[in-house]
Amino acid sequence: MADDADLKGLPPTYVMTCEYDVLKDDGVMYAKRLGKAGVKVSHDHYQHGFHPFLIYFD
């Protein structure tokens, strides 16, 4: 992952994580690191979601 210094100054960021996604932990960690770096971050976690759930039901 990027160094903490590289995260500062990034634009506002939206992070979405899902409970049944192998990338969940990375997304949660990224959102927390962005917040600690002073980046405005919105993080939504879908408890019963899985990785492609937004397009799965399209």
Q: List, for residues 2-56, the tens digit of each pLDDT value.
A: 888 999 999 999 999 999 999 999 999 999 999 999 999 999 999 988 887 777 7
Q: Are 22 and 50 in contact (CB under 8 A)?
A: no
What is the pTM assigned to this prediction? 0.84
> Where in the chain are the domains?
12-48
**31 residue type, one letter:** A
Separation between Cα atoms, residue 19 and residue 54, nearest integer Å: 14
